[in-house]
Amino acid sequence: MVQLTPARVRYAPSPTGLPHVGNIRTALFNWLWARHTGGQFILRIEDTDVARRVEGATEGIMESLRWLGLDWDEGPLVGGPYAPYVQSERLPRYEQEAARLVGSGRAYFCFCSEERLEAMRAAQARRREPPRYDGTCRRLPDEERKRRKDGGEPCVVRFKVPHRGETVTFHDLVRGEISFRDEDIEDFVILKSDGYPTYHLANVVDDHLMSITHVIRGEEWISSCPKHVLLYHAFGWQREMPVFVHMPVTLGPDKGKLSKRHGAEPVLEYRRQGYLPEALVNFMALLGWSLDDKTEIIGREDLVKHFSLERIGATSAAFNREKLDWMNGVYIRQLSPEELTDKLMPFLEEWQARTRAPHFSRSLLRQVVPLIQERLRRLDEAPALADFFFVDELAYDAVLLAPRGLPPDAARDALGRTREAVSALREWTPEALEGGIRGLALELGLKTGPYFGCIRVAVTGRAVSPPLFQTMAVIGRGRCLARLDAAIEKLKQGAA
RNA sequence: GCCCCCAUCGUCUAGUGGACUAGGACAUCGCCCUUUCAAGGCGGUGACGGGGAUUCGAAUUCCCCUGGGGGCACCA
């Protein structure tokens, strides 16, 4: 492998809610790059919007990362050489850097009120002009700005975008050169009136201070990237500018950018629905990245080993639940029965608590697991698939007992003979059951299809189940005989 | 409205001028296996948005159009 310099990358979410798949995929790509290069993955909380802050969101973010196995080397809880990693705790730095810019004439105080700005934008919209700060305070004489500032008038700090009719160009690893005309960039706010920095300032300052080498983020940031580039230059940091990698956004099923509005669910919701973190990781990695023309199932280690920024595509990808479900099934089948039992326990326990199923236990579940493993796509499907192993009474429609090709009377007789034959069995094993029941089928001249179907319903209460004889073996002699009796009774009542 | 980005099967993608009658995966359809359902095996349907240009030769390069997406806050 080529010797790579260790990268320092960051996942920088704002704590405004639980991260969803599109969001956490950014974390995954950053993490993969850090691990691939042997560098550091940094978690930085960008809580510079006091109004949008959500209680507990940071914990939710960390829990999501932990569940997916995306461990961070620096950040909340673990600390690091560039602490603190929460922007609200770094306010003095931003203020200081903003002041530097004001001092050197690259930024200025702006006293325009929210109302005035709103009116300005409304007027621009009416004139069908792009909404953009009109530069009122930029044109103010220095003395007046100083006087009003010293007088305590509320203000923000705006970056003085050089409007020289030039283009601001940056290199994006995914798309190549991207350029904007400087007159299309407005004098953006870098420090708000409450003293908090905006994303633009905080992000540039911290990335520089924390020696971030690669900024891997969603493509929704492309349009603000020139602002960041301008800031790097204004600060004199252009030599150490990070490599920009704008990943394509994830689209919802309706092809809109994945968000609450477009079918995005919190990552932790996937845990609740019985997805395996390794399946979700595999799946998300393939959303916008590919190893070659055939690899679909690729485990975490191989992902780390083979991941590369160069193979990130430029087209946005729609989140496709069906493929995730398939992939999750693949990962479920790869589990050992013991592992799967462990993973299934919380889902069955939750079900048990609701239904009071009398026969549920881990050891019974352990026996059931081999019978349902290849039938599961999600862990939360297990109760619906296996409930009849754990209950006493079965509730089902008697007509199911007489499938096509087996009239009710014949079904009742067959079940009666079956009960007889089976209760005489010395061993209650799949093999013994199969021998006995097949022998009987031959003797009675019954086709196995309808006949086995009939027994299946009697024993499981449904027309679809895992293989009959193994199922009966696990359910046990006592409950099987009782269920056969109940089925015969049901048919008698139906006839009467 | 303005700016930016993108464009291969329904979906995720491979493809960097000839190896492409465009490959793989999910989904879908059919067959096989089979006591049902799965799993598995085999096979089928299915795509280079349109138009120009460059070239002996374009999915691949360039331009235009169209379509889609993103952005345009004292939000990130």
Q: Which of residues 213-232 of A touch strand B (CB under 7 A)?
A: 219-224
Predicted pLDDT at A264:
79
pLDDT for A98-112, tens place per residue? 999 999 999 999 999
A25, HSE (Cβ side, Cα atoms, 13 Å): 28
- The residue with tokens 């001249």 is A445
Cβ of A452 near strand B (under 7 Å)? The reply is yes
| Residue A184: DSSP 8-state | G
Ramachandran assignment for A322, one of left (phi > 0), alpha (psi -120 to 50 degrees), beta (any other):
alpha
Q: Which nucleotide is nearest to A463 (CA to C1')?
A: B36
pLDDT for A65-108, tens place per residue? 999 999 999 999 999 999 999 999 999 999 999 999 999 999 99
Cβ of A52 near strand B (under 7 Å)? The reply is yes
Residue type, A217: R
Q: Which residues of A346-363 are buried (b: 16+ CB within 10 A; e: fewer)?
A: ebbeebbeeeebeebeee
List of E strands, A320-387? none
Per DSSP, the three-state class of A165 is: coil
Q: What angle do helix axes A199-209 and A225-235 make, rounded to 10 degrees?
A: 50
Topology annotation, domain A335-383: Helicase, Ruva Protein; domain 3 (1.10.8)
- The residue with tokens 């850090």 is A34
Cβ of A170 near strand B (under 7 Å)? The reply is no
| Residue A75: DSSP 8-state | B
CA distances from A257 to A20, A230, A249, A319, A323 (A): 12, 28, 7, 10, 19
pLDDT for A309-368, tens place per residue? 999 999 999 999 999 999 999 999 999 999 999 999 999 999 999 999 999 999 999 999
Please identify which of the residues A146, A255, A260, A492 carries the catalytic annotation: A260
pLDDT for A100-144, tens place per residue? 999 999 999 999 999 999 999 999 988 888 899 999 999 999 999
Instruction: Please give the protein residue whose CA is closest to the C1' of the nucleotide B12.
Output: A287
Topology annotation, domain A398-495: Arc Repressor Mutant, subunit A (1.10.10)
**Domain A8-86+250-323 is classified in which CATH homologous superfamily?**
HUPs (3.40.50.620)
Intrachain domains A335-383 and A398-495 with the same fold: no
* ipTM of model: 0.95
Please report, rounded to a whole number, the percentage of residues in chain A having pLDDT higher than 70. Answer: 98
* Cα separation, A212 vs A204, whole angstroms: 10
Which tokens hold the place of A233?
């230059």
The angle formed by the CA atoms of residues A130, A136 and A139, to the nearest 5 degrees, is: 125
Cβ of A291 near strand B (under 7 Å)? The reply is no
Cβ of A173 near strand B (under 7 Å)? The reply is no
Predicted pLDDT at A44:
98
* Cα separation, A403 vs A272, whole angstroms: 37
Which tokens hold the place of A87?
């922007």
pLDDT level of residue A16 (50, 70, 90 thresholds): very high
Cβ of A247 near strand B (under 7 Å)? The reply is no
pLDDT for A465-484, tens place per residue? 999 999 999 999 999 999 99
pLDDT for A190-213, tens place per residue? 999 999 999 999 999 999 999 999
pLDDT for A425-440, tens place per residue? 999 999 999 999 999 9
| A281 in Cβ contact with A251 (< 8 Å) | no
Which tokens hold the place of A275?
């997805």
A260 catalytic, yes or no?
Answer: yes
Kindly write down the DSSP assignment for every residue of A48-72, as one continuous string.
Answer: --TTT--TTHHHHHHHHHHHHT---
pLDDT for A378-436, tens place per residue? 999 999 999 999 999 899 998 899 887 788 889 999 999 999 999 999 999 999 999 99
pLDDT of residue A450 exceeding 80: yes
* Cα separation, A474 vs A368, whole angstroms: 7
**Positions in chain B where some atom is under 7 Å from a protein CB:** 1-8, 10-15, 23-27, 35-40, 68-76
Q: Which of residues 350-379 of A touch strand B (CB under 7 A)?
A: 374-375
Which tokens hold the place of A75?
């950040």
* Cα separation, A193 vs A262, whole angstroms: 33
Predicted pLDDT at A389:
98
Predicted pLDDT at A427:
94
Q: Which nucleotide is nearest to A322 (CA to C1')?
A: B26
For residues A217-241, average pLDDT: 96
Q: Which nucleotide is nearest to A189 (CA to C1')?
A: B74
- The residue with tokens 């975008």 is A161
What is the pLDDT of chain A when averaged over all its residues? 94
Tell me the whole-structure pTM to 2 decimals.
0.94
Residue type, A254: D
Q: Which nucleotide is nearest to A16 (CA to C1')?
A: B76
Predicted pLDDT at A406:
85
Tell me the domain boundaries of chain A. Answer: 8-86+250-323, 90-247, 335-383, 398-495
List of E strands, A111-155? none
pLDDT level of residue A495 (50, 70, 90 thresholds): low
Cβ of A292 near strand B (under 7 Å)? The reply is yes
Which three-class secondary structure string do you get for A211-234?
Answer: CCCEEEEEHHHHHHHHHHHHHHHH
pLDDT level of residue A2 (50, 70, 90 thresholds): low
Cβ of A119 near strand B (under 7 Å)? The reply is no
Predicted pLDDT at A129:
86
A272, HSE (Cβ side, Cα atoms, 13 Å): 6
pLDDT of residue A1 exceeding 70: no
Predicted pLDDT at A403:
80
pLDDT level of residue A290 (50, 70, 90 thresholds): very high
In Å, what is the separation between the CA of A35 and the C1' of B12?
25
So what CATH class is A90-247? alpha beta
Predicted pLDDT at A408:
87
| A164 in Cβ contact with A182 (< 8 Å) | yes
